[in-house]
Structure 1
Amino acid sequence: MSTSSPEHAIDRMEDRLARLPLRERKKLRTRRAIQDHALRLFAAQGYDETTVEQIAAAAEISPSTFFRYFPTKEDVVITDEYDPIMAEAIREQPAELPPIDALRAMLREILPQLFETDLDALKTRLRITAEVPALRGRTFEGMRATFTVLSEAFAERTGRAPDDPDVEAFSWAVLGVLQAALYRLLDGKTTYEDLPAQIDHNLRFLAQGCPL
């Protein structure tokens, strides 16, 4: 875990956001603002008891604007803005690093920053996901966006196409070991403090060919 201050972590995340295209930055910030209001309402009155209309009113937007950013109420829990930030950080890793080592290096940098800036939101999202069966079912669908980002980043590093069967298989394998770490957290087998180390262990295990 990083020993830098939360202010430095926020600065680093803001620097990464600033390097994204303006349209993407505006979209991410609006989506995050809506999500913050939604998570606050979910924590206060429950997921099922909170309506899209209430979220929209709290965010001072119309319900139609809500649906432009989140197709369903479920999406406001399972969607986040981390994918483009992680993709940029993967691309910044030294070209000689194999894809899995580049991913591990990126996560060792990004996860502590996310924990310092967004831990409360992450805890709320994961708790709601664990409690609401429909959200657990939607988690796999939500992984497709991350799968696309990973496939494109790995394809760039290897000179292959994003839809290359090996690139796709590798991206799904990565997502599988990441999900394994998250489910250990949801099942109470590890803690938030130990999650970065658990994720790194799982990726190292994958790189070794998952020997048992």
Structure 2
Amino acid sequence: MAATTRNPSRDSLAEAQPQLGLRERKKLKTRIAIRRATYRLISEQGYEATTIEQIAEAAEVSPSTVFRYFPTKEDIVLTDEYDPIMEAELRARPADEEPLEAIRQVMTDGLRTFIEDERDEVIQRTKLMVEVPAIRARMTETMATTSELLVHALADRTGRDHDDLDVRVFTAAVLGALREVMLYWAARDHQDDLIELVDRALTTIQGGLRL
């Protein structure tokens, strides 16, 4: 049976990772609390007006704790805990499945569940990507972490080295497509079907741009 992505809700995310020790689960819960407080404050008063001090107070932690988990305010908006899950699901796909098809299934299944569980957060995040230049700029940097995870998983699946140029170009193309889809979706007021947009973007990568 083909593997499917299991994106747990935020409430159960820590418990859904039994490989984590008690200390790691506490850290995960703190990260989630900080992010939730941030989104709540931003929705109430806007991104620029929301300070790290306010976030810390709302999350019941110190400002230094916020910075320990998230180097910048942009990171709070952009970072989530799903990259390791996505990597694991990619590695669990059938061994004979083409890389692009494996990526397609992992991304679309994961996004579908994520939207069902956290639609408001997804909408708020992508809206901020469009509206706040600092977030959009930081997004390129944070995607490097996701890229490394996927590069290693795809290299292992295809029997290539982790520094293989073709793997890195392929991964960059996929993540670049995902970035553009998110911005396009938000710019059109989230009216389109996000899953269909992702599927369309990956099909474009597969077939190229034709006349």
Per the normalisation by structure 1, the TM-score is 0.86
SS of 1:177 mapped into structure 2:
helix
Measured after TM superposition, the shift of residue 176 of structure 1 is: 1.6
Corresponding position of 2:194: 195
Corresponding position of 1:59: 59
Corresponding position of 1:205: 204
Matched, 1:186 2:158: no
1:79 and 1:142 in contact (8 A); partners too: yes
1:205 and 1:211 in contact (8 A); partners too: no
Return the letter of the residue paired with 1:86.
M
Corresponding position of 1:21: 20
Corresponding position of 2:30: 30
CA RMSD of aligned residues (A): 2.4
2:79 and 2:142 in contact (8 A); partners too: yes
Instruction: Indicate how the Cα distance of structure 1 residues 172 and 47 shifts in structure 2: closer, same or farther if over 3 A, else same.
Output: same
1:17 and 1:85 in contact (8 A); partners too: no
How many residues are paired up? 203
Structure 1's consecutive aligned runs of 4 or more residues displaced over 6 angstroms after TM superposition are none
Measured after TM superposition, the shift of residue 106 of structure 1 is: 1.1
Corresponding position of 1:146: 146
For 1:91-148, what per-residue CA distance to the aligned partner results, in whole angstroms no more than 9, with x for missing partners? 1111110111111111232111101111111111122222212112212112111111
Q: Give the Cα–Cα distance (whole angstroms) in 2 for the partners of residues 201 and 168 of structure 1.
A: 21
Per the normalisation by structure 2, the TM-score is 0.86
1:16 and 1:85 in contact (8 A); partners too: no
1:91 and 1:153 in contact (8 A); partners too: yes
1:85-124 to structure 2, matched below 5 A, reads 85-124=85-124
2:9 and 2:118 in contact (8 A); partners too: no
- Which runs of 5 or more residues in structure 1 are unaligned? 1-7
Measured after TM superposition, the shift of residue 189 of structure 1 is: 7.6
Measured after TM superposition, the shift of residue 37 of structure 1 is: 0.5
Q: Give the Cα–Cα distance (whole angstroms) in 1 for the partners of residues 186 and 199 of structure 2.
A: 17
2:127 and 2:187 in contact (8 A); partners too: no
- Which runs of 5 or more residues in structure 2 are unaligned? 1-6
Q: Give the Cα–Cα distance (whole angstroms) in 1 for the partners of residues 48 and 190 of structure 2.
A: 28
1:42 and 1:50 in contact (8 A); partners too: yes
Q: Give the Cα–Cα distance (whole angstroms) in 1 for the partners of residues 74 and 49 of structure 2.
A: 13
2:14 and 2:25 in contact (8 A); partners too: no
1:9 and 1:116 in contact (8 A); partners too: no
Measured after TM superposition, the shift of residue 27 of structure 1 is: 3.6
Q: Give the Cα–Cα distance (whole angstroms) in 2 for the partners of residues 46 and 101 of structure 1.
A: 39
